[in-house]
Amino acid sequence: MSISEQIPLIHLLLHMSAAGILIISLIALLSIISLSVLFQKMSQIRSVVRSDRTTMAALGRATNMADLAHIASKGTPEGLRTVLRWGVAEASLVPQGHSEGAQMIQEAIESGIEQERSRLEERMAILTVTSAVGPFLGLLGTVWGIMDAFFAIGKLGSASLTVVAPGIAEALVTTLAGLLVAIPAAAGYQLLAARIRRLESDWLVGGSRLLSFHRRGEG
């Protein structure tokens, strides 16, 4: 007995119609793209978390704006370090302790946060598209498989299991494939979005530290 006969799923995939193969191929391509985005974003966020952990520790030891400028200038510009660079750059243009200057620095910090959030969220829309489109591609395969089963019934004039089963099996396989692609994409998007929101909170804390030094006029 061959492997394809021992494993029903492989047997089904090898004997699918051309339309079923096309739909499964589209789902597989969508899966590859979404998983590559998911793993890339996970790696990117881990890098930011490590960088922010180091930066936050350094912030705890900072005593003035000069220390913050030094912290912001070190290492790769990502996460909190990027936010601090925006704030420090704006702080260098306004007088220490100036009330309106504090508002300008706050806006610069918010711009830095927005830039970092946009960078981390880049391509994450692919996960949203995958979670939405995957089930519909599966549903398309389902409809096609059922249509194929009814066509076989009409052509052969029989509704026996051997006539109906291949089309129904193909329909179920494409439905399963669509769900298996959509579920990880939807879950991954939500997890990544939650991590990014937590990072934003840390960036706001770091930015408030910079504003505190500015308001006290500690250069």
CA 102 to chain centroid: 34
- For the entire predicted model, the pTM comes to 0.81
How many contiguous H segments (helices) and E segments (strands) does the chain have?
A: 8, 0
pLDDT at 12: 62
Q: Please say whether the beta carbons of 35 and 182 come within 8 A.
A: no
pLDDT at 116: 94
Written as one string, the DSSP assignment of 141-209 is: HHHHHHHHHHHHHHHHT---HHHHHHHHHHHHHHHHHHHHHHHHHHHHHHHHHHHHHHHHHHHHHHHHH
pLDDT at 194: 96
- Contacts of range 54-62, beta carbons closer than 8 Å, 24 or more positions apart: 55/79, 55/80, 55/81, 55/84, 55/206, 56/80, 56/202, 56/205, 56/206, 59/206, 59/209, 62/209, 62/213
Query: What are the tokens at 156?
Result: 């052969």
pLDDT at 6: 47
123 burial type by CB count under 10 A (0-12 exposed, 13-18 middle, 19+ buried) = middle
CA 55 to chain centroid: 24
Over the chain (219 residues), what is each successive 10-residue block's mean pLDDT? 49 67 90 96 95 90 85 86 91 70 88 94 94 91 78 66 66 86 95 95 90 72
Nearest alpha-carbon partner for 90 in 205, 210, 200: 210
pLDDT at 164: 65
For the chain, the domains span 3-216
pLDDT at 204: 92
Residue 73 and residue 68: Cα distance in Å, rounded?
9
Residue 140 and residue 134: Cα distance in Å, rounded?
10
Q: Measured between alpha carbons, how far is residue 42 from residues 53, 110, 179, 187 in Å?
A: 16, 24, 22, 13
pLDDT at 114: 94
